Amino acid sequence: MKLSVVMIRTLLFFLILCSIIRSKAEDGYRLWLRYERITNVSLLKNYTRQLTSVHIGKLSPTIQVAVEELQLAIKSMLVKELALTAQVQSGTLLLGTPASTPVIQAMNISEKLRNTGPEGYLIMSTAWNGKKVIVITANTDKGVLYGVFHFIRLIQTQQDISDLNISSAPKIKLRLLNHWDNLDRTVERGYAGFSIWDWHKLPDFIDPRYKDYARANASIGINGTVLTNVNANAWVLTPHYLEKVAALANVFRPYGIRVYLTARFSAPTEIGGLPTADPLNPDVQQWWNKKVREIYNLIPDFGGFLVKANSEGQPGPQNFGRTHAEGANMLARALAPFNGVVMWRAFVYDDKIPDDRAKQAFNEFKPLDGAFLPNVLVQVKNGPIDFQPREPFHPLFGAMPATPLMMEFQITQEYTGFSTHLVYLANQFKECLSSDTYARGEGSTVARVIDGSLHNYPITGMAGVANIGTDRNWTGHHFGQANWYAFGRLAWNHELTAMSVAEEWIRMTFTNELHVVNTIKKLMDSSWETTVNYMTPLGLHHIMGWNHHYGPAPWIQDKHRADWTSVYYHRADEKGLGFDRTPSGSNAVSQYTQRVSEKFGSRLNCPEKFLLWFHHVGWTEQLSSGKTLWEELCLAYYRGAAEVKQMLETWSTLQGKIDDDRYEHVRTMLSIQHKEAIWWRNACVLYFQTFSKMEIPAHLEKPDKPLSYYMQLEFPYAPGIKPKW
């Protein structure tokens, strides 16, 4: 049969349309909420048989979005729509709280819900009047929404739903993203485009991306977002911008997400017309009280303020001879009537203090333990310097039993290769969380500090510096999504393993095909350790490029402050390498509990992954392998670069098993990562060789360019650097 011209054109149009749809569908925009159709016939039949309809009680905005998400997922994955029914039948999904849904109330499950709190949930297979049903219930609508996302995840990852008995509640109360987004839409340390907040078009134009952002965060339990950079701009507190913030809050509210803002401490003088911002000045206090009331009139569920004060030139209470506690408490009093909180960052250091920068936060905050009001949390970075590829846990954890400490992780990869390096950070997060502070004996982990179980904190929190931008795939690198996902899952339950979280993400983002899942898991599992090897092995730290932090630059020196140079941290000389933080050096080890201090302070007992963080080690000194420091340093750098090559080769085996667009994107990024790992290897080994005066081990290939080549490289347009015109 001959095809007519019209038929041929129609067929061609259809093929082109399918190509366009496929291209759009696999650009990464849908994140882990792809909801791909289940092609396994038996599994599809099983799910379809068990899910016929959905029954809800009172419809609230949050229950509405929960039902919408459930219908979207079921329609996409099972190619069917759940009927909304008033009659419970076999296969009905019961959705709601006991208070809003009479059928669930009649099941008398209040006792089971007692331990789930305001955000936890139950997912149960049960029977109602002889009919088999699945119940997703909670004490609040927000909990129901989280339960719905969990249920959807079960189907996405192709789990058995025939006999469910799941109870889940978050271990940490405040689970926040910190956006370092500026009002001009640039993002400090952001590598995925510009800020997604289009301040110019708000409040009237609501970008659909805002809703998708809320969906993604709710799906992993994130319940708050700090919209603006910690290097704050006071203008966000003006009425013009607060109306825009309120518009975003309206989008996020049904998804259980509260908005927070960074408060610039000098706002009373910059936008309030006052001559001072002294926190003990009555006029200043009154100004903040009035400003907070103004915010809550627009945003009734406003979360509170995040503050960076007296750090890196930012204004703060010390400008007026006041303490961090006096500054934080002034804001806390203004927020307290509205149940708002202050998150006061402990990232403070001063170049006028001639002491180890790693010690400064502890020195400033430890004496203030117990001086903060109950609605203040001190937000502490995972390590004592600044989000390095690997750091020991911050000594403040466990040291402030009377002050709620919240964790600050960095999801954006400022020091781990930006958005061109595949680095799964869940392993880094877990290493910190599982570290034992010994604050109350063995088992006093960092996780138990921040979840409140160690010191009975009244409020708890975990924050992640976001890696989100206007790039179509949100995070620049497709695998950057995994770090956003992992942060949320671990903030909900820090007892999850890094690999169980990775497997969830892979199955939801790429495929459930077991070989592919295991291949990608293996690649992700090794990626962080690989990065540490080719960047900062054996406890080295802060040897990245000047200001922009792009690439290696261990030679940086003679800047306007010593602790913004590389030589300050590695202390290389003709004798050896490393920062002596033992009693013979800065004695930073003394800030840890005795058990930890003795371990880190002992040259023999210090874990070699932190060796050069705490010790200045001789070039010819033997390590546990029997090799010298110089040999081990070279081997680590070369091993890291070789491992990236292996990552690239491993990924190449997945061609044809991953959609072409994302496969090629990741392959290209891994090629860049391999090239830059070699750059790191060569530049660092050649530089440190000028001190060791020793040959690179004979079996290792020699760098093809001299050290001078690497030292003269400049990157005026690296992300974060302003053009010089």
The DSSP secondary-structure symbol of 403 reads S
pLDDT > 70: what percent of the chain?
Answer: 96
Domain range 24-168, CATH class:
alpha beta
pLDDT at 2: 52
Query: pLDDT-derived band of residue 717, with 50, 70 and 90 as boundaries?
Result: confident
Q: What are 627-682's pLDDT values in tens digits?
A: 999 999 999 999 999 999 999 999 999 999 999 999 999 999 999 999 999 999 99
- What does the pLDDT look like over 238-295, one tens digit per residue? 999 999 999 999 999 999 999 999 999 999 999 999 999 999 999 999 999 999 999 9
Tokens standing for residue 105: 């109330």
Of 15-29, 136-150, 504-518, 548-562, give the lowest mean pLDDT range: 15-29
Answer yes or no: are the C-beta atoms of 174 and 222 closer than 8 Å: no
Pairing relation of β-strands 461-465 and 405-410? Answer: parallel
Cβ proximity of 77 and 34 under 8 Å: no
pLDDT given for residue 48 in this prediction: 96
pLDDT tops 70 at residue 543: yes
The domain spans of the chain are 24-168, 174-509, 533-579+616-711
DSSP state of 702: P
Confidence of residue 23 (pLDDT cuts 50, 70, 90): very low
Nearest to 512 by CA among 22, 43, 18, 74: 43
- Does the annotation mark 414 as catalytic? yes
Of 23-37, 405-419, 675-689, least confident by mean pLDDT is 23-37
* HEC letters along 500-533: HHHHHHHHHHCCCCHHHHHHHHHHHHHHHHHHHH
Q: What is the 3-state secondary structure (H, E, C) of 225-247?
A: EECCCCCCCHHHHCHHHHHHHHH
Q: Identify whether 326 is a catalytic site residue.
A: no
Chain-wide mean pLDDT for the chain?
Answer: 95
Q: Does 479 or 8 have the greater pLDDT score?
A: 479
Residue type, 238: T
Which tens digits make up the pLDDT trace of 55-107? Answer: 999 999 999 999 999 999 999 999 999 999 999 999 999 999 999 999 999 99
- Helix, strand, coil content of the chain in percent (nearest 5): 45, 10, 45
- In this predicted model, what pLDDT tens digit does every residue of 699-711 receive, in sequence order? 999 999 999 999 9
Catalytic residue among 141, 386, 431, 504: 386
State residue 349's pLDDT score. Answer: 87
pLDDT band at 719 (very low <50, low <70, confident <90, very high): confident
Taking the model in full, what pTM does it have? 0.96
Q: With a cut of 70, say whether residue 724 has pLDDT above it.
A: no
pLDDT at 50 over 60: yes
Strand pairing category for 258-262 and 304-307: parallel
- Domain 533-579+616-711 adopts which CATH fold? Alpha-d-glucuronidase, C-terminal Domain (3.90.1330)
The tens digit of pLDDT for each residue in 345-389 reads: 999 987 677 799 999 999 999 999 999 999 999 999 999 999 999
| pLDDT score recorded for residue 350 | 79
pLDDT 10s digits, 462-515: 999 999 999 999 999 999 999 999 999 999 999 999 999 999 999 999 999 999
Nearest-angstrom CA–CA distance, 52 and 48: 7
Say if residues 381 and 394 touch (Cβ distance below 8 Å). yes
* Residue 589 near residue 583, CB atoms below 8 Å: yes
The packing angle between helices 141-156 and 61-78, to 10°, is 10
Active-site hit among 26, 391, 414, 451: 414
Q: Report whether 200 contacts 476 (CB < 8 A).
A: no
Instruction: Report d(CA 645, CA 630) in Å as an integer.
Output: 23
Instruction: Give alpha helix (H) positions in 176-281.
Output: 208-219, 239-252, 267-270
DSSP string covering 353-387:
S-S-HHHHHHHHHGGGTT-S-TTEEEEEESSSSSS
Q: Residue 4 pLDDT more than 80?
A: no
Of the chain, the percentage scoring pLDDT greater than 90 comes to: 93
The one catalytic residue among 270, 294, 301, 312: 312
Angle at CA 114, nearest 5°, toward 110 and 117? 125
pLDDT tens digits, one per residue of 598-617: 999 999 999 999 999 999 99
184 part of the active site? no
pLDDT at residue number 22? 44
Q: Is residue 11 scored above 70 in pLDDT?
A: no
pLDDT bucket at 7, cuts 50 / 70 / 90: low
The correct answer on CATH 3.20.20.80 for the domain covering 174-509 is yes
